[in-house]
Structure 1
Amino acid sequence: MNKKILYVMSMLFFAFVGFIMIPQTAKADIDGVTVTPLIGDSDITDRFQIIGNSKTTRTLKISIANFGVRNLTLKVVPTNATTSMDGKIVYTDKVKAGQYGLKYAFADMTKAQTVKINVGKTKDLSFKIKLPEGKINHLILGGFNIYDVSNFAKGNADVPVWITDDNKSVGGIVTLHNLSLDVISKKPHIIINLQNKEPGIMKNVIVHMTVKRKSWLDRFNLGDKVMTADLTYPKVAPNSRIPVDFDQNTTPIKAGTYTVKGAARSGKATWTFHKTYTITQDQANNINKRCKGLIYNKTTTYILIVCVLVSIIFLIFWAIWYSGRS
């Protein structure tokens, strides 16, 4: 009996050791696909990390396996990390140098590749990373975005690439970038874009933001209500926007002047914002015509109709009174 127990415990031990020695795969949402960064002898197995001088070339290798039920054509695209609306670091946007204070774009250091992988097959891809000539201040957070060419919306995988000269941590600075409009799931959205303009990852960024459209109806308390957002972003990518979303649901976008106020806090640092933006009628129409199920508020129309009727009645009574004096 003791021998059987010893045997079982030995098998469990070796199985555990074998499990922890298997290279970790990157996050993959494509059905049947696993993506593994071939790191080599490093304690970090979920990303590539380049620490070194500029003007050098490094080679990175990625292994992609297809365990699904159909042959796939995948595209592997280099880009920089961005911040999603729910406070996650993602690699799905095309990022260019100069955006949000970004000095170097990862897309300029290597080229995208397209690979065909049949069912049950594995392919290894090599990427030559040409580091920029200038000094790399703090952190460039790049990565490879991998998706199915035939169905981009079906999911993606990403492999982060951290590039730094000094490997020193740095905080971030939050500023107000702009106001933008978008259509998401056939509904209009007003998005206030903050930005982390520093080359460092931020954590637990708390944002309070209000947006108010100015109107002459405000003096009668009949204007548009103040929209409020209270959000926490667990992680914010370096040199990236921080989107604060105001979902309008069935309310169409209105042209006019919007006042944006708010504050962001991370640790002991706090930043405040106050600015006005203008949405033109053409911008509003462009968004609204792409949405469905919008309900238009006709309060202004009704008030104007009432004013016109009151004016007409006043003129009628004035005319009767004036003719009676004649």
Structure 2
Amino acid sequence: MNKKIIYFISIIFFALVTFIIKPQAVKADLNGITVTPLIENDSDVTDRFQIVGKSKGVRTLKISISNFGVRKANLRVVPTNATTSMDGKIVYTQNVKAGQYGLKYAFSDMTKPQTVLVRPNKTKDLTFKVKLPSGNIKGLLLGGFNIYDTGNQVPGNADVPVWITDDNKPVGGILSLHNLGLDVIRKKPHIIINLQNKEPGIMKNVIVHMTVKRKSWLDRFNLGPKKMQVDTTYPKVAPNSRIPVDFDQNTTPIQAGKYVVKGAARSGKATWTFHKTYTITQEQANDINKRCKGLIYNKTTTYILIVCVLVSIIFLIFWAIWYSGRS
């Protein structure tokens, strides 16, 4: 066989081998930053850490961070638990504590955060000692490391998931209504109905239909606020996490009052229904509205009151004329 052909085949072979055994970097939204979990065992999973077995003792996890950007990055690596975003993704951007949404153990209690300075074209390896709980872990404890730039010179964040389970048996989820919350997003008011998955299992393809209606005395005249409706699908829901259902108010300010929440959710063959009334105080409404811009206030109630006052005045005038005519 020609030596050039043998040489060419050898190059392709070693390139393929290198590609196969190369550690896989996790998805990173940090510009120029690559984050790679250094998996020491022979697992086929290379984009996350997996700890399977009796959950006692201390495990060592190593993360490699490379900076291919033009600026130095002062990165913070924070342990936390997975949560569910509004668009149905599993994220690690919130500080989750034990007890929230039925969570028995918080990953933030098992290891400590670290800060590392990575200069351009440099790589730093970090080692984390993870102290596992002495009690049993039911289902899946989905922890992870949230990585972001403390100086905001490199926008975005990255994450490295850590799956911890005793028996590696799949566990389903159960949805329930958690609360009604308010938030300001891009200078616009939002009403957020928070569902929750209190079970230690990942859920997939969760379809949610939800309505919110503020009660008003104008409802009897069909002049009250309209019912708001959201139909959305969450591709993934994290275990022991909230599921935010967003009602974007756009230019409509938040009004105080009683809000009736109704809805249903479905995942596979399982279905859940929700019905509850929440109260938004005037103080809560004012706090949200003053942080927003471009709000358009509905003057319907004011106009109706003005009309009622004018009608009352006209009625009194005619009554006075009629009464004086009888005298």
Between stretches 124-133 and 179-188, larger displacement belongs to: 124-133
**What residue number does 2:266 align with?**
265
**What residue number does 1:37 align with?**
37
Q: 2:306 and 2:240 mapped to 1: Cα distance?
A: 51
**What residue number does 2:145 align with?**
144
Given residue 56 of structure 2, which amino acid in structure 1 is its aligned partner? K
Q: 1:4 and 1:32 mapped to 2: Cα distance?
A: 38
- Give CA-to-partner distance per residue, 1:196-222, whole Å, 9 cap, x none: 000000000000000000001111111
* CA spacing shift, 1:144–1:152, aligned 2, 3 Å: farther
Q: 2:9 and 2:325 mapped to 1: Cα distance?
A: 113
Q: 2:169 and 2:247 mapped to 1: Cα distance?
A: 36
Find out whether 1:180 has 2:184 as its counterpart.
no
**What residue number does 1:214 align with?**
215
**What residue number does 1:251 align with?**
252
Q: 1:215 and 1:185 mapped to 2: Cα distance?
A: 28
Aligned-residue CA RMSD in angstroms? Answer: 1.6
**What residue number does 1:50 align with?**
51
Find out whether 1:203 has 2:171 as its counterpart.
no
- Give CA-to-partner distance per residue, 1:90-116, whole Å, 9 cap, x none: 000000001011010000000000011
Look up the SS of the partner of 2:306 in the other structure: helix
Deviation at 1:180, TM superposition (A): 0.2
Q: 1:128 and 1:322 mapped to 2: Cα distance?
A: 91
**What residue number does 2:315 align with?**
314
Give percent identity, aligned residues only: 81
Q: 1:249 and 1:190 mapped to 2: Cα distance?
A: 11
* CA spacing shift, 1:121–1:153, aligned 2, 3 Å: closer
Find out whether 1:93 has 2:94 as its counterpart.
yes
For structure 2, which runs of at least 5 residues remain unmatched after alignment? none
**What residue number does 1:23 align with?**
23
- Give CA-to-partner distance per residue, 1:245-266, whole Å, 9 cap, x none: 0000000000000000000000
Q: 1:61 and 1:260 mapped to 2: Cα distance?
A: 45
Contact 2:73 2:117 in 1 (8 A): yes
Look up the SS of the partner of 1:73 in the other structure: strand
**What residue number does 2:105 align with?**
104
Deviation at 1:21, TM superposition (A): 2.0
Look up the SS of the partner of 1:162 in the other structure: strand
Deviation at 1:12, TM superposition (A): 3.8
**What residue number does 2:224 align with?**
223
**What residue number does 1:115 align with?**
116
Q: 1:189 and 1:310 mapped to 2: Cα distance?
A: 38
Look up the SS of the partner of 2:168 in the other structure: coil
Look up the SS of the partner of 1:141 in the other structure: strand
Deviation at 1:5, TM superposition (A): 6.6
TM-score normalized by structure 2?
Answer: 0.96
Q: 1:308 and 1:105 mapped to 2: Cα distance?
A: 60
Q: 1:152 and 1:105 mapped to 2: Cα distance?
A: 30
Between stretches 3-12 and 229-238, larger displacement belongs to: 3-12
Find out whether 1:241 has 2:242 as its counterpart.
yes
Look up the SS of the partner of 2:320 in the other structure: helix
Q: 1:117 and 1:321 mapped to 2: Cα distance?
A: 90
TM-score normalized by structure 1?
Answer: 0.97
For structure 1, which runs of at least 5 residues remain unmatched after alignment? none
Given residue 27 of structure 1, which amino acid in structure 2 is its aligned partner? K
**What residue number does 1:157 align with?**
158
Contact 2:30 2:154 in 1 (8 A): no
**What residue number does 1:275 align with?**
276
- Give CA-to-partner distance per residue, 1:162-213, whole Å, 9 cap, x none: 0011110000000000000000000000000000000000000000000000
**What residue number does 2:304 align with?**
303
Q: 1:262 and 1:43 mapped to 2: Cα distance?
A: 41
Look up the SS of the partner of 1:230 in the other structure: strand
Deviation at 1:131, TM superposition (A): 0.7
Q: 2:109 and 2:67 mapped to 1: Cα distance?
A: 29
Contact 2:73 2:154 in 1 (8 A): no
**What residue number does 2:190 align with?**
189
Q: 2:36 and 2:223 mapped to 1: Cα distance?
A: 58
Q: 1:25 and 1:319 mapped to 2: Cα distance?
A: 86
Deviation at 1:6, TM superposition (A): 6.9
Look up the SS of the partner of 2:69 in the other structure: coil
Superposed structure 1 runs of 4+ greater than 2 Å apart: 1-18
Between stretches 182-191 and 38-47, larger displacement belongs to: 38-47
Q: 2:323 and 2:14 mapped to 1: Cα distance?
A: 107
**What residue number does 1:82 align with?**
83
Q: 1:9 and 1:321 mapped to 2: Cα distance?
A: 111
